[in-house]
A = this chain, B = another copy of it.
Amino acid sequence: MKRRLVLLCLALGLICPVRAASPETSAVAYPAGYRKWPLVKSMVIYSDKHPLFGQFGGLHHVYANAEALKALTKGGTFPDGSVLVFDLLEAKDENGAYGEGARKLVAVMAKDRARFKATGGWGFEAFKGDSETERLVKDPAKDCFGCHQQQKDNDFAFSGYKP
């Protein structure tokens, strides 16, 4: 059906309204205002002894919107509408301390079971640096869910909330 519609669009010289194979790819919105959402937890990945240093080296914070926070504090799976943000900054190593440097990326996971069936009900995206439009994720199933699926028992989220 999609294929027919694409062919039809091509035939008519139209910009095709169908996002073909992966509607998830660019369907996750930039999480406007997340810097004022509650902080879930933070970490500094500072050495290549850590398996995620190459990808996520630096100082990161995880933020939750109101829906996600409810699940984190009260337990249970995340309801649709839940959004978790992974905000990765450079870790500035100065004088025996790691402080916050420039933003490297803002990664997002947004729960919508109907739209993101193939990736555990979560849509994944990442935005480069301080940009709200420059998207980094090519294949969410591979780039993001490949790792997150090990957290199936935790509804695919890594971070727990510490009061």
Contact = CB atoms under 8 A, between A and B. Distances in A.
Interface stretch (A4-12, A97-105, A113-121): A97-105
A43 interface: yes
Contact of A50 (B43, B46, B61, B97): B97
A38 B35 contact: yes
Interface string A52-75: 010000010101000001000000
Contacts of A163: 35
A153 interface: no
B96 A45 contact: yes
Contact of A97 (B35, B45, B97): B45
Interface of A: 35-36, 38-39, 41-51, 53, 59, 61, 63, 69, 95-100, 162-163
A39 to B, nearest CB: 5
A36 B38 contact: yes
Contact of A98 (B36, B38, B98, B99): B98
Number of copies: 2
A100 B35 contact: no
A44 B39 CA distance: 16
A43 B96 contact: no
A96 B42 contact: no
Contacts of A41: 99-100
Contacts of A96: 45-50, 53
Contact of A95 (B39, B49, B63, B97): B49
Contacts of A36: 38, 69
Given A42-B42, A42-B59, A46-B97, 12 more contacts: A35-B39, A36-B38, A41-B99, A42-B100, A43-B99, A43-B100, A44-B44, A44-B59, A45-B97, A46-B98, A51-B95, A98-B98
